[in-house]
Amino acid sequence: MSALKRSPRNVRSPRSTAAMVKHLPSAVAALLQSGKGPTKLTKVDTPDGVKAVPLSDWLWDNSQVQAQAALDTDFIQGIKSGLLDPTNYGGYTVQDAVYCYNAIDYYGIAEVKATDEDLRKFLVARIESFTE
C-alpha cells in the first residue's frame, strides 16, 4: 500500500472502461423503454438502404481513414520500431495527466446541465470513477 494519500485530482486514466461499461446497459435499456433510442442497436442500414450490417462493422469500415492516420503517427511508429523518443512519450503522459485533471470538472459541467435523469446518473458514476 502506498504511503501517499489519493487526492480528488489523483485519478485513473480515462482509458479504463470499467466504470463506463457497468452503467451502459441501464442507459441503453432506458433509451429503448422511453422510445428515445433506436430499436436495433446492433445493426445499421447501409446508405443505399438495401441491407443492415453489424454496427461494429459499419463503424470500423467508416473509420479506416482515421485508424490509418493514427497508426501512421510518429508516436505509434516509434513504439512499433522501439525507437520512440522519450520526449514524445513524456508529452503524451503529460497530455493524459492534464485530461485526467480536468475530466472531473468537465463531467461535472455536463452533469449539472443534463436534463435526462439516466444521463445524469451516468455522468455522476463517471465522475466517481475518476475519484475511486
Other Cβ atoms closer than 10 A to 90: 10
How many domains does the chain contain in total? 1
- Is 2 inside any structural domain? no
- Is 24 inside any structural domain? yes
- Is 8 inside any structural domain? no
- Is 11 inside any structural domain? no
Kindly report, residue by residue over 41-63, the tens digit of the pLDDT.
Answer: 455 555 666 667 777 887 888 89
This prediction's pTM: 0.41
- Is 5 inside any structural domain? no
CA distance 92 to 110: 25
Domain range for residue 97?
A: 18-131
Confidence class for position 34, pLDDT limits 50, 70, 90: low
CATH number at residue 69: 1.20.910.10
CA distance 98 to 80: 25
- Is 31 inside any structural domain? yes
Residue 88 is predicted with a pLDDT of 78
CA distances from 114 to 29, 39, 107, 119 (A): 18, 23, 10, 7
- Is 9 inside any structural domain? no
